[in-house]
């Protein structure tokens, strides 16, 4: 499989647990979350217009598979720019009334397929953790990425390699084809998913923690 040249610059990924309540894996509606949604949309819009920022998205979690040890949040901001903006995003969000973030992660793009920014649809942020190096995690992602492209039709992926001491080694940012339920079923009901993807990740010593989100707009 041919991988595209990684993007330069830095990605900043900041998440908040405003009112995470699940019905199974589905994030339930929340009036408290609604009160902060417009604040984050406005912040992302401001960031996107600033010098040195290429893209900025406000995200709302829709589905969080119940995997112990995984991230738990309902709102997030993802920024791609010339430098890391974690402290600045957290400070500006606090001035808008948001609490202390659950996660502030900065990383570089270490692998890429297609153009995630050019795709519309549900956004997958898949967090990978384990007692291995980030480089090992990147190689494991490259080993399973062809399965997703060939079997499920995932034609884009932007891999973020986190800075040292982050709780996750890598985070895969991708827009999935179709909805979340067909995507998850397309994995779990295929024997090749368990034979190829799960085995490869298990052998590499890393665990995936997916969160499905949508890009918010005014």
pLDDT digits (tens, 9 = 90+) for 21-50: 999 999 999 999 999 999 999 999 999 999
Q: Which residues contact 217 (CB under 8 A, 6 or more apart)?
A: 41
What are 139's two structure tokens? 């190689």
Q: pLDDT tens digits, residue range 79-99? A: 999 999 999 999 999 999 999
Instruction: List, as one string, the DSSP characters of 138-192.
Output: HHHHHHHHHHIIIII----EEEEEEPTT-S-SEEEEEEPSS-HHHHHHHHHT-HH
Kind and range of the H or E run holding 196: none
Please report the pLDDT score of residue 208 as a whole number: 97
Q: pTM (2 decimals)?
A: 0.97
The distance from CA 33 to its chain's CA centroid, rounded to whole angstroms, is 19
Domains of the chain: 10-215 (3.30.70.100)
């Amino acid at each position: 499989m041919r991988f595209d040249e990684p993007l330069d610059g830095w990605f900043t990924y900041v998440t908040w647990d405003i009112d995470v309540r699940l019905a199974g894996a589905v994030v339930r509606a929340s009036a408290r979350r609604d009160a902060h949604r417009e604040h984050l949309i406005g912040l992302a819009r401001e960031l996107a217009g600033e010098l040195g920022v290429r893209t900025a998205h406000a995200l709302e979690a829709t589905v969080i598979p119940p995997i112990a040890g995984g991230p738990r949040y309902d709102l997030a901001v993802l920024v791609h720019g010339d430098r890391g903006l974690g402290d600045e995003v957290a400070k500006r969000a606090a001035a808008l009334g948001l609490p202390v973030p659950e996660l502030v992660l900065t990383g570089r793009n270490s692998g890429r397929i297609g153009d995630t920014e050019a795709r519309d649809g549900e956004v997958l942020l898949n967090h990978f953790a384990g007692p291995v190096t980030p480089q090992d995690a990147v190689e494991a992602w490259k080993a399973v990425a062809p399965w997703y492209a060939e079997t499920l039709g995932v034609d884009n992926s932007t891999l973020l390699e986190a800075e040292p001491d982050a709780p996750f080694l890598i985070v895969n940012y991708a827009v999935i084809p179709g909805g979340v339920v067909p995507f998850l079923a397309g994995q779990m009901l295929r024997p090749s998913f368990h034979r190829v993807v799960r085995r490869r990740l298990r052998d590499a010593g890393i665990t995936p923690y997916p969160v499905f989100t949508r890009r918010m707009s005014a």
